[in-house]
Homo-oligomer: A and B are copies of this chain.
């Protein structure tokens, strides 16, 4: 390679060195100059491009520093071997899972994800822009291990208003997902602790506790939620539950059972209830169900919440509220864990809440999701008359018993024939899933458009009847 097809523009905003640097880098990245190829000597190129040798030297130095060129003594500059890291262009074209799914399915009743059309991008962008502020030294420092004080203040205020959670800011720990919060608790509690989870329940809990090598017991439910007799029987210390909208069945734990549960927890030191209030923002009829935490008089409830359903699971922001008497021990044992959420994200969310955008967004989304749920319920009544909808009018999913004689696998397979993706309930059982194969499905409706829902259910009718 002896010539370079570049015209240096002296009126460009970039210096000549920058222009040459950018040109060569692009050529190398695009594979237009091959590996190990020698590039022109500085003198030759300076002559060629009618600029000073210093200009060339600057660009070559930069490219050497960044690994694009290799300087060989008494020989010149050569293009480095970049093949080892694959052809970058090819990689970026790899289709992701969603694309594949879209090809196979016209409609997907996935439980994961949120409505894709009504996120307040404009406000989020504006606040983020304001937060990324040259004068804010916080943005370059390790923050409080339990999370940014401003965000924790906003969360405390929100929980107080909306969920009846009584807490001080010291009790709040911000993290990036329920799994990370639970890992902190596992390290906080004694290694001999016996944990219990709901069965059926959130599928990750079982995996998480097993992966952390602690004792875990799945306990059965009835139509009021977790049955309590297993707690004493299996010497449970800590139980994880979703009392306000059981996942996945959708039932609400009535006040009597709640009080019994709190009574169990108060019965012995070291007993705790982890209350996962994962979708409490969305309740479409009746009064909001107050949190267990707000009922608790003995500091036995650890409350957990997240912004995954209310904003976006892509934001990775969740939190827990520790009982007062656990704070000192938590701070002492675990304050070496940095808060995993970036300061920019924490400040942005704090501002978003302070300015009222979060409440307004929730109100809009509650209305929208209520309509989506209503559309789904109507469509089921219309097209699937034998199906029974279970659970409360809340959250972003419902469960349904199809009652057409098909088992779960058949229901899923026939729906797939019609390019509709539905989810069997048996995946949420920790053990003996085959006993549970009774034709129940979980249908998430958050990511679907309202006018798609009826069409999707009409296809399910075709599939199943």
A160 to B187, CA, bound (A): 36
A251 within 8 A of B: no
Docked-complex contact B316 and A169, CB < 8 angstroms? no
- How far is the CB of A13 from the nearest CB of chain B, in Å? 14
A141 within 8 A of B: yes
A67 within 8 A of B: yes
Output the nearest chain B residue to A334 by Cβ-Cβ distance: B211
Docked-complex contact A98 and B141, CB < 8 angstroms? yes
- Identify which of B65, B114, B129 contacts A128 (C-beta below 8 A): B129
A36 within 8 A of B: no
Docked-complex contact B140 and A129, CB < 8 angstroms? no
Docked-complex contact B166 and A84, CB < 8 angstroms? yes
Output the nearest chain B residue to A156 by Cβ-Cβ distance: B85
In the complex, the 10 A-B pairs of residues with the closest C-beta atoms, listed nearest first: A67-B161, A176-B340, A314-B343, A85-B160, A125-B132, A142-B313, A140-B312, A340-B340, A207-B336, A187-B211
- Identify which of B149, B156, B161 contacts A96 (C-beta below 8 A): B149
Residue among A25, A176, A203 having the largest count of chain B Cβ atoms under 10 Å: A176
A40 within 8 A of B: no
Interface residues on A, range: 35 or more
- Identify which of B142, B166, B177, B363 contacts A340 (C-beta below 8 A): B177
Pick the interface stretch among A86-94, A261-269, A373-381.
A86-94
- Identify which of B119, B161, B179, B336 contacts A82 (C-beta below 8 A): B161
A410 within 8 A of B: no
Output the nearest chain B residue to A132 by Cβ-Cβ distance: B125
A465 within 8 A of B: no
Q: In the complex, what residues of B have CB within 8 A of residue A161's CB?
A: 66-68, 80, 82
